[in-house]
Amino acid sequence: MSRLILVPMLMLTACAPAGRDDTRVLIASQCAACHIVTGVPTARGRVGPSLVGIGRRRYIAGTLPNTPANLRRFLEHPQSVQPRGAMPELGLTPQQANAIAAYLETAGGS
């Protein structure tokens, strides 16, 4: 009986959204080399633009309207949004892109 309960619990854990600290670790590994991000001490890169205040900006990548859906789409596949742009394809999963976008839209981008 415990096996029947354990499997669904493991599945729910795997689908759970990343916590704030997990997202900071993700940002530190994927964004910090190029960007400045509030709340992530290692994110002090100067290659790309600062992401401080990105939640209040009108556009992403210069021309894409800044909406939550567009930010997630850009994070997941930046080259499809801005071909030959400086933002590389990072291989983010939809869940990772969603976690980073949610962080940037709130405290991380304010």
Exposure b/e, 55-68, CB count within 10 A at least 16 = b: beeeebbeebebee
Question: Bridge partners of 65?
Answer: 59
Give the integer Cα–Cα distance in Å for 1 and 75. Answer: 42
pTM of the model: 0.78
Mean per-residue pLDDT for 42-62?
93
Q: What angle do CA 7, 10, 12 make, to 5 degrees?
A: 110
Is the CB of residue 26 less than 8 Å from the CB of residue 94? no
pLDDT at 109: 58
Mean per-residue pLDDT for 38-61?
93
Number of CB atoms found within 10 A of residue 27's CB: 23
Domains of the chain: 18-109 (2.60.40.420)
